[in-house]
Amino acid sequence: MTNTDLPLLTSPALGAIAHGFTGRRGGVSTGLVAGLNVGLGSDDDPAAVAQNRRLATEAILPGGALVTLHQVHSADVIRVNAAIPIDDRPKADAMITDRPGLLLGVLGADCPPILFADEAAQIIGAAHSGWKGAFAGVGEATVAAMEKLGADRTRIVAAIGPCIQQKSYEVDSGFYVRFCEADPENERFFREGRPDHYQFDLEGFIASRLAQCGIGTVHVSGVDTYSDAAGYYSFRRATHRGEPDYGRQMGAIGLRS
């Protein structure tokens, strides 16, 4: 936990790089999304979302400019050189930069944010990695983009933030077949559940793919967004409860000026 007004989860792998994973504690939102909802796609009061984003930014990178994306579950990565107005957010799921003062933020509500850094090169990245993005290789694409900018993949560290954990992530047999047909080794990320259903280890799948692409360190949070209703927003939990809306948390990383 960092010593700020907001509770932030941080990763030892990222060391002194400014970063943090927000939850739902703190913030000014009320109702179903009470807390620190930073999701523009929710039905929350836009003024509350904007205030929550300001609070998160100041807690992680004081004075920084928050940059977020219109996330579409892709493996597309963009390079960010300057602040981007909210209304002009590009459709992509990962960002990289070498510019100080920019806070790269990716949102999720079960899908994990991944934060990347090559501290020696002062190059960072952030990726939203739900199962579709992970399957398409958004993590590997982020590493490749960072390398093209001047990073060394053997120095890159990645921190996978809070997400839905295997015990809470039930999938059907078609989902299981899709992954195992792509690579029989993927079977190890599934545990049999009720008939024709499996429990999927999304965090483990992402961590394995990142390790296989040759980066230096991969750190996982082990935090389950689904089961911690007081601490995190969860799309799946909201769906199971029949709730019409859900909030989003964020993983964010920036270079200090």
Q: Which of 150, 129, 133, 149 is nearest to 218 (CA)?
A: 129
* The predicted structure's pLDDT at residue 37: 98
Q: What number is the average pLDDT over the span 156-167? A: 98
* The predicted structure's pLDDT at residue 71: 97
What CATH code is carried by the domain that includes residue 137?
3.60.140.10
Confidence of residue 2 (pLDDT cuts 50, 70, 90): very low
pLDDT, the chain, mean: 96
Domain count, the chain: 1
In a domain? residue 34: no
* The predicted structure's pLDDT at residue 226: 98
Domain span at 106:
66-165+201-244
In order, the DSSP letters of 52-96 are HHHHHHHHHSTT-EEE--B--S---EEE--S---GGG--B-SEEE
Q: What number is the average pLDDT over the span 25-42? A: 96
* The predicted structure's pLDDT at residue 3: 35
In a domain? residue 115: yes
Q: What number is the average pLDDT over the span 130-140? A: 97
Q: What number is the average pLDDT over the span 188-204? A: 97
In what order do the strands lie in the sheet containing 249-254? 18-21, 249-254, 102-108, 65-67
In what order do the strands lie in the sheet containing 113-118? 77-79, 94-97, 123-128, 113-118, 157-160, 217-220
Q: What number is the average pLDDT over the span 126-153? A: 98
In a domain? residue 223: yes
In a domain? residue 73: yes
* The predicted structure's pLDDT at residue 44: 97
Q: What number is the average pLDDT over the span 197-210? A: 98
In a domain? residue 137: yes
* The predicted structure's pLDDT at residue 18: 98
In a domain? residue 38: no
* Percentage of the chain lying above the pLDDT 90 cut: 97
In a domain? residue 16: no
**212-223: per-residue pLDDT in tens?**
999 999 999 999
In a domain? residue 224: yes
* Percentage of the chain lying above the pLDDT 70 cut: 98
* The predicted structure's pLDDT at residue 116: 98
User: Residue 235: in which H helix or E strand, if any?
Assistant: helix 235-241
**70-112: per-residue pLDDT in tens?**
999 999 999 999 999 999 999 999 999 999 999 999 999 999 9
d(CA 133, CA 36) in angstroms, rounded, equals 25
* The predicted structure's pLDDT at residue 1: 31
Judged against a pLDDT cut of 70, whether residue 4 lies above it is answered with no
Q: 120: which 2 tokens?
A: 């020696």
